[in-house]
């Protein structure tokens, strides 16, 4: 019995000491680490980064953006703080007045976006993360879609062949773009997002009212052009000498092309000229956001 009373006294004493330690703020284990601060995030580029497809279907401003795009979804993460999104629908890489691009529509170019962000200090040594989509318009995506969204397979094939042949000059322009971003934001990780294949040829010809609009051959040609563009972007990233990483979204979009049963890409055949056509819908932008966050894991980005 005496031994039991001693044990009870020791147990009670230990409990009292533990309560005192907790009251005074002493912990027996290591203190919980404070969560890392959110990373400073800047986005720029073309319509995919501007959110086209997630909002309205028609352009409403010179630099048109739509709410709910992948940039907004990434910003909703507790690990990310969006400082600025300068992306514009229809933005090309740069404008040369001596050799003007036929695709220039007045929207601020990517080069102009970078310059403006650097001037405002939104893009600076404090920037941790940058995302960009760019190059599709410069490559001739509009020409390819116009030529291939017809029953004319020869015109489509010739247009795609010409686009692929000229991708070498695009690669050099992309390298310069990534280098310009890194010069303005030397500590940033630059996430360069690729483009999804637009069609699923296994679904057969796209037909409206008994008329073939996009035959399988043209679908294959467009997808080939997208693959070649993504390879060019990936090569430019690898050879740019920057902190850029390429994120390929092709696998994420498998089974979700414009002509699939569950499309993640917009195609309104009743309004073939809608600006939102061939852009990610809400699910597509969610796929982009997931791809970005999985690729860089913002919580692991080192704050400078």
Q: For residue 158, count other CB atoms closer than 10 A to its CB.
A: 13
In whole angstroms, what is the distance from residue 177 CA to residue 167 CA? 15
In whole angstroms, what is the distance from residue 98 CA to residue 84 CA? 31
Q: What is the pLDDT of residue 93?
A: 98
**CA within 13 Å, CB half, 147:** 20
In whole angstroms, what is the distance from residue 225 CA to residue 214 CA? 15
Q: How far is CA 116 from CA 110, 123, 131, in A?
A: 10, 9, 16
Per-residue three-class SS string for 156-212: HHHHHHHHHHCHHHHHHHHHHHHHHHHHHCCCCEEEEECCCCCCCHHHCCEEECCEE
Q: What is the pLDDT of residue 30?
A: 54
- Angle (CA) 199-200-202 rounded to 5° is 150
In whole angstroms, what is the distance from residue 65 CA to residue 47 CA? 8
pLDDT tens-place values along the chain, 304 residues long: 444 444 444 444 444 444 444 444 444 455 556 667 889 999 999 999 999 999 877 777 889 999 999 999 999 998 999 999 999 999 999 988 767 788 888 899 999 999 999 999 999 999 999 999 999 999 999 999 999 999 999 999 999 999 999 999 999 999 999 999 999 999 999 999 999 999 999 999 999 888 899 999 999 999 999 999 999 999 999 999 999 999 999 999 999 999 999 999 999 888 888 899 999 999 999 999 999 999 998 877 755 4
Phi, psi of 225 (to 5 degrees): -65, -40
DSSP, collapsed to helix, strand or coil, labels residue 84 as strand
Q: What is the pLDDT of residue 302?
A: 53
DSSP, collapsed to helix, strand or coil, labels residue 39 as strand
Structure tokens at 292: 């970005």
Of 248, 65, 93, nearest to 181 by C-alpha is: 93
- Reported CATH class of domain 38-300: alpha beta
Structure tokens at 111: 């080069």
């Amino acid at each position: 019995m005496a031994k039991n009373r001693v044990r009870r006294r020791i147990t009670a004493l230990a409990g009292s000491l533990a309560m005192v330690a907790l009251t005074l703020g002493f912990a027996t284990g290591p203190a919980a680490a404070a969560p890392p601060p959110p990373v400073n995030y800047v986005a720029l580029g073309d319509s995919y980064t501007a959110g086209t497809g997630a909002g309205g279907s028609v352009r409403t401003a010179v630099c048109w953006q739509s709410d709910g795009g992948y940039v907004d979804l990434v910003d909703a993460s507790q690990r990310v703080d969006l400082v600025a999104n300068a992306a514009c629908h229809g933005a090309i890489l740069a404008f040369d007045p001596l050799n003007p691009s036929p695709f220039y529509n007045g929207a601020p170019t990517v080069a102009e976006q970078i310059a403006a962000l650097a001037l405002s200090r939104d893009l600076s040594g404090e920037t941790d993360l940058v995302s960009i989509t760019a190059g599709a318009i410069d490559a001739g995506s509009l020409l390819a879609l116009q030529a291939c969204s017809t029953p004319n397979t020869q015109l489509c094939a010739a247009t795609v062949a010409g686009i692929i042949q000229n991708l070498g000059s695009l690669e050099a322009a992309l390298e310069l773009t990534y280098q310009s971003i890194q010069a303005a934001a030397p500590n940033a990780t630059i996430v360069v997002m690729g483009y999804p294949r637009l069609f699923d040829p296994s679904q057969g010809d796209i037909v409206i009212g008994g008329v073939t609009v996009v035959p399988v051959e043209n679908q294959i040609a467009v997808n080939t052009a997208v693959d070649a563009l993504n390879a060019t972007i990936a090569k430019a990233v690898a050879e740019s000498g920057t902190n850029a990483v390429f994120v390929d979204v092709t696998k994420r979009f498998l089974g979700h092309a414009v002509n699939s049963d569950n499309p993640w890409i917009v195609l309104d055949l009743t309004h073939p000229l809608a600006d939102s056509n061939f852009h990610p819908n809400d699910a597509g932008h969610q796929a982009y956001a997931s791809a970005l966050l999985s690729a860089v894991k913002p919580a692991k980005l080192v704050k400078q």
